[in-house]
Amino acid sequence: MRLVSHPVLCNYYVTYRCNAACGFCDIWEKPSPYITLENFRENLKDLKRLGVKVIDFTGGEPLLHRQLDVLLREAKSHGMITTVTSNGLLYPKYAERLKGLVDMLHFSLDSPVREEHDASRKVKCFDKVMESIDIARGLGERPDIIFTVFESNIGQIRQLYEEICIPNDLVLILNPVFEYNGVGDSLTPEALKELSWWGKQKNVYLNEAFIQLRLDGGNKMADPVCKAASTTLVISPENKLILPCYHLGLKDFEIQNNLFALYNSEEVQKLVALEGRLPACEGCAINCYMQPSFAVEMNRYWWKALPSTLKYSRLKGTWKRLLSP
C-alpha cells in the first residue's frame, strides 16, 4: 500500500567537485560548475509545491560552494529539513556561518585510525574531522559520524564507537557499502549479521531494511522496491533534473525555471513509472534511494525500516517537522 505519492526528498548536487578522492566514489572525477543562487531560489519554490520536505545539499564536497550558508538559510525559510555530509576539511573555516542551518550534519569517517582514514580519502582529513567535531559541539550543533562499512573496516566499528562517538555523544550512522557501475563493494551475510547487531546499540543508526534488501539480493525488476524517481528529485550542478536517479542517470532535463511543470510532464512521468524496472535496476541496493523508498510504501521493508527510523528521528528531533503540513 502506497502511503505517500509525492516526492519527499531532493538530492541537490551543489557541485560535483571534491577536495578528496575516495576510491569508493567516482563523483569527484567529473568536471562541474556550482549551482547558482538564482536557480536554487526558483527551484525551491517548486520543490515545496511538489511536497518535498528534506533537501540534502550534496556533492562532491558541498562546503566547496561558497554560498552554502545562503542556500541553507533559503531552504530553512521555506520550512525544509536540511542535511549536509562533509569530509570536514572546510568545516572549521565555515562553521560559524553554518551554525543553526543544518538539521542533520554528518562528518564522514571511515576508520578510527588516522592513517587508514586518510588513505581511504587520499587526503589528510582525519584531524580535520576531529577538529570539526569539537567546533560543532562548541557551537551547540549535534553532528553525526557517518561510517561507510566495508569488509575491511567492519572490525573497527567498536573502536570508533567507543573512542570517538560515545565520548562526544555523537550518533554513529552505519552506511553499508553498495555497488554501482563497477564502483563500491558488497558485504558478506556474516558482515550483515554483525551490522544488524550494531544497529541495535545505543546512539547507533542503521536502517535494518538495508540489511534485508541485501539478503534478498537487492531490487527486483519484476517486483521493485525502489521508488527513486517518485520519492526523490535529483538536481545537478548544471540545473538539470536527472532521472530515474543520479547513479543510473538515464536522462536529464533542463529545468528552465519551471521544475513543477517539468516533473509533472508526460515525458518525465513516463520515466518515473519505470523506477526500479530498468535492467540496471536489477540487484540495486543504493542507500540514498532505498531510504526514501522504504518510507513511502507499506511492505516488509517499511516495517524493517520503521524502528531505526523512529530511533533516529527521536535522537535528532526531526519527526515533528516531518509530520507538519
Please compute, for residue 149, the number of CA atoms within 13 A of its CA located in the half-sphere on the CB side: 26
Q: Where is pLDDT greater, at 245 or 107?
A: 107
How far is the CA of 206 from the CAs of 201, 228, 302, in angstroms? Answer: 10, 20, 14
If DSSP codes are grouped into helix, strand and coil, which group holds residue 152? coil
Give the model's confidence band at 83: pLDDT under 50 very low, under 70 low, under 90 confident, else very high.
very high
Q: Where is pLDDT greater, at 53 or 118?
A: 53
Give the model's confidence band at 136: pLDDT under 50 very low, under 70 low, under 90 confident, else very high.
very high
Does the pLDDT value for residue 120 go beyond 90? no
- Of the chain, the percentage scoring pLDDT greater than 90 comes to 80
Does the pLDDT value for residue 183 go beyond 80? no
What is the pLDDT at residue 28? 56
Distance from C-alpha of 136 to C-alpha of 140, rounded to nearest angstrom: 6
Q: What is the pLDDT of residues 199-217, one digit of tens each?
A: 999 999 999 999 999 999 9
Does the pLDDT value for residue 26 go beyond 90? no
297 with 3: CB under 8 angstroms? yes
Domains (range + CATH), the chain: 9-323 (3.20.20.70)
CA 16 from centroid of its chain's CA atoms:
14
Please give the DSSP secondary-structure letter assigned to residue 2. Answer: B
What is the pLDDT at residue 101? 98
Does the pLDDT value for residue 186 go beyond 70? yes
Give the model's confidence band at 53: pLDDT under 50 very low, under 70 low, under 90 confident, else very high.
very high
Average pLDDT taken over every residue of the chain? 91
How far is the CA of 273 from the CAs of 52, 151, 202, 230, 267, in angstroms? Answer: 19, 35, 39, 8, 10
Distance from C-alpha of 16 to C-alpha of 301, rounded to nearest angstrom: 31
Q: Where is pLDDT greater, at 27 or 58?
A: 58
Structure-block grid coordinates of residue 230: 517518485
Does the pLDDT value for residue 322 go beyond 80? no
Give the model's confidence band at 1: pLDDT under 50 very low, under 70 low, under 90 confident, else very high.
confident
Q: What's the length of the chain? A: 325
What is the pLDDT at residue 184? 54
- Any idea which of 51-55, 255-259, 288-292 has the lowest mean pLDDT? 288-292
Q: What is the pLDDT of residues 229-262, one digit of tens each?
A: 999 999 999 999 999 888 877 799 999 999 999 9
Give burial (CB, 10 Å; 0-12/13-18/19+) of 173: buried
Count other Cβ atoms within 10 Å, centred on residue 311. Answer: 18
Q: H or E element: which one contains 269?
A: helix 266-272
Does the pLDDT value for residue 57 go beyond 80? yes
Strand extents, DSSP E, the chain: 9-13, 54-58, 81-86, 104-108, 144-149, 171-176, 179-180, 183-184, 204-205, 232-235, 240-243, 251-254
Does the pLDDT value for residue 123 go beyond 80? yes
Q: What is the pTM of this model?
A: 0.93
β-pair partners for 104: 83
Structure-block grid coordinates of residue 22: 575516495
